Homo-oligomer: A and B are copies of this chain.
Amino acid sequence: MALKTLSAKAAAALDKELMSTGAFSIDQLMELAGLSVSQVIYRVHPLDKGSRVLVACGPGNNGGDGLVAARHLRHYGYQPTIYYPKRSKNELYQRLAKQLEDLEVPFVEDFSSAVKSTDHIVDAIFGFSFSGEVREPFPAVIKALEETNIPVTSVDAPSSWNIEDGPPKSGLGSSFMPDFLVSLTAPKPLVKHFKGRHFVGGRFVSPSIAKKYDFEVPKYEGLDQIVEISPNGQKL
């Protein structure tokens, strides 16, 4: 059975629908998405593996999910560090950053140094709306993610990958393979190229919305906001 995935275009339409007829605010959706990401980190990298988590945040919604995840991780007892070089002027992201500052979570400027003193990396740089070129200052970050031996969890998409086609054929990002991936609401077509452990998060989609967008709400257990599925989609 082929995995049902959500194209970049469908994912954008779903987001728009959740926030219009679905009546969710972006604050709510981002809180729940970031909570899912934090639960994946807790699952794949429990505190006894080392509490230092470097969260690389891009300028858009993917970065916002990373900021929320970092806050929850801080409350779980982790020591997150944030790399957030292109801060959005959007009020929501400014508030999410302030919430981290109030928890004394450090923001760092130099990603390649930060990579050397962390136990886990969260790639919250680009999400399903990424296409085209990796802009400055992110090429060096993607390169560091390709080269590091530290485990990496990507949020929604391995950054630099094309949402439909997966990793670039050559050059920057072509050898980037994160260890873990959290697909938010539903996997994107790129997952057919993904080889690590794969989770779905975002336990807020109604069955009727899922049906309309032709994907399945995965079977979450208990209170979990995440569920592990096979790298390419089936439930484990």
User: Can you sample 29 A-B contacts with CB below 8 Å?
Assistant: A22-B102, A23-B94, A23-B96, A23-B102, A24-B95, A24-B99, A25-B27, A25-B92, A25-B95, A27-B27, A27-B28, A27-B31, A28-B31, A31-B31, A31-B32, A35-B35, A39-B223, A42-B222, A42-B223, A71-B204, A72-B203, A75-B203, A75-B220, A76-B222, A76-B223, A99-B204, A102-B209, A103-B206, A103-B207
User: In this complex, what residue of B is CB-closest to A98?
Assistant: B23
Instruction: Determine the chain B residues whose CB is within 8 A of the CB of A90 once the complex forms.
Output: none
Report A24 CB to chain B, min CB distance, Å: 7
CA distance A159 to B39 in the complex (A): 34
Chain B CB within 8 A of A170 CB? no
**Interface size in chain A (residues, C-beta < 8 A):** 33
A contact face: mostly helix, strand, loop, or mixed = helix
| Interface residues in A21-47 (C-beta closer than 8 Å to B) | 22-25, 27-28, 31-32, 35, 38-39, 42
| Interface residues in A196-236 (C-beta closer than 8 Å to B) | 203-204, 206-209, 220, 222-223
The listed residue (B23, B39, B76) touching A99 by CB distance below 8 A is B23
Instruction: Determine the chain B residues whose CB is within 8 A of the CB of A220 once the complex forms.
Output: 75
The listed residue (B72, B92, B204) touching A75 by CB distance below 8 A is B204
